[in-house]
Amino acid sequence: MPTIPERRNRMRHLVTSVAAAPLQGGGLDRFIDPFAQFLTDIANMEPVLLQLLAFGLLLGGVYALTALGLTMIFGVMDVINFAHGVFLVVGMYTVWLVSTTLGISPFIGIPIAAVVLFALGIGVHILTVEPIIEAPQQNQLIATLGVLLIIQSAIEIIFTPDPQQVELSLGSVQVGGVFIPLGQFYALLIALGTMLGVRAFLNRTDLGRKIRGTADNRDGARYVGINVPQINYLTFGIGAALAGVAGGSIALFQRFDPFTGEAYLINAFVIVILGGLGSFPGAFVGGLIVGMIQVFGGYYLPGTTSQVLIFLLFIGTLLVKPEGLFGGAEA
């Protein structure tokens, strides 16, 4: 048994080392030193910065793509779809499955994943979201969370929790001293292409305009004769299909397991709020911000400290500017 003074000493040590750590001394150093390093690197024009920028862009593009479907469902239906993360995973497994069992190129697997997810999304919507679309918001949250658990565990049971990998050796290229892994590069291209495509769909087609109209004003949409329930399930289907494309793209460059979706889901929430509810440009900018924080933070900060920054940013946005950077004006 420690003596009283000894205990008091230990307590003092504890208070200085733990409780005060984030505030002063050794605590803040862990942010100041890396930041100083960062500034020094900028001053010296270190080539690593270009490399980090490239990685940030690659990751940010994919993040934006993971948030697209989520922000669309959020914007149009005012539903937080917790199942979005596991939709990504279904996309990954679809691409993996068609490429390993049928020998189809993963690039063809991605549109297949979109179709599979579109159907799955509509099914999930009809079974779980539709019946409670008018219920308090937490009920929809709980229902989609239930869907997350069911699908995630089903995947775990069918395909084991072991990580899987799409057999694809794309290698990398060097551009002006910057190393670019091609898998991620193609994922970025797919992300950009999908975003432009969905934007054109929303702006140019009749259905797209109806979806945007519903996002702007549900009651108004009903009033002008838009079939809102139909828009709802199509939106949910399209949102899920976008998750399929995103998941399939991630599978091009990353190993995955049934739980890979969780981290992407959380960051997708951050991006949706950061960019603004239902905003596509917002999702893109938000994706870039989160991607850059992760890449630069991962390089300069120890461990997963960058994720702490992301959450602080998230909380700050929720409190001060919940409508996000792009205000949700644009669908």
Q: Which chain residues interact with other proteins by CB under 8 A? A: 1-2, 7, 10-11, 13-14, 17-18, 21-22, 74, 78, 80, 127-128, 131-132, 135-143, 145-150, 152-154, 156-157, 161, 258, 262, 266, 269-270, 273, 302-305, 307-308, 311-312, 314-315, 318-320, 322
In the complex with other proteins, which residue's Cβ is closer, 18 or 115?
18
Q: How far is the CB of 240 from other proteins (least distance, A)?
A: 16
In the complex with other proteins, which residue's Cβ is closer, 255 or 321?
321
Token pair of 50 as six digits: 């270009």
Token pair of 324 as six digits: 């996000």
Q: How far is the CB of 90 from other proteins (least distance, A)?
A: 15
d(CA 182, CA 185): 5
DSSP state of 15: I
Q: Residue 82: CB partners within 8 Å, gap ≥ 6?
A: 141, 144, 145, 147, 148, 265
Q: How far is the CB of 218 from other proteins (least distance, A)?
A: 15
Q: How far is the CB of 329 from other proteins (least distance, A)?
A: 16
In the complex with other proteins, which residue's Cβ is closer, 35 or 311?
311
> Long-range pairs for 38-42 at CB < 8 Å and ≥24 separation?
38/296, 38/300
- Count Cβ atoms below 10 Å from residue 201 Cβ, excluding itself: 14
Could you tell me if 59 and 291 are in contact, meaning their C-beta atoms sit under 8 angstroms apart? yes
Q: How far is the CB of 273 from other proteins (least distance, A)?
A: 7
In the complex with other proteins, which residue's Cβ is closer, 180 or 309?
309
Token pair of 224 as six digits: 């002008």
Could you tell me if 260 and 155 are in contact, meaning their C-beta atoms sit under 8 angstroms apart? no
In the complex with other proteins, which residue's Cβ is closer, 74 or 299?
74
